Amino acid sequence: MERNNADNPNNADTRARIVDLLMDKVAEDAFPSIPMMTLLEDLLEPDEVPAYAAVLMQKISETNYPSVSMLARLASLAGND
């Protein structure tokens, strides 16, 4: 199994598909798991961060008492960690 070969188009395609899957899961799940969000954040490319931040902002806006963890993740994406 090839690992850490960013030049391989198959690896890039697989990474993008995993990111899409996890992004959808985070958006759909009422309480996405911390390991799932951490994995997603580890896989994100810089141009994908705004979409993930938008998902987190939407989740935060939908509740009266947002998760402190989710607020911290959002702040971290903005460089305020």
Question: How many domains in the chain?
Answer: 1
**Nearest-angstrom CA–CA distance, 23 and 1:** 25
72 part of a folded domain: yes
30 part of a folded domain: yes
In this predicted model, what pLDDT tens digit does every residue of 17-68 receive, in sequence order?
999 999 999 999 988 999 999 999 999 999 999 999 999 999 999 999 999 9
1 part of a folded domain: no
Domain that holds residue 31: 9-77
Question: pLDDT at position 28, please?
Answer: 96
Give the type of residue at 76.
Answer: S
Question: pLDDT at position 11, please?
Answer: 85
4 part of a folded domain: no
Concatenating the DSSP letter of every residue in 8-75 gives -HHHHHHHHHHHHHHHHHHHH-SS--HHHHHHHHHH--GGGHHHHHHHHHHHHHT-SS--HHHHHHHH
**Nearest-angstrom CA–CA distance, 8 and 55:** 29
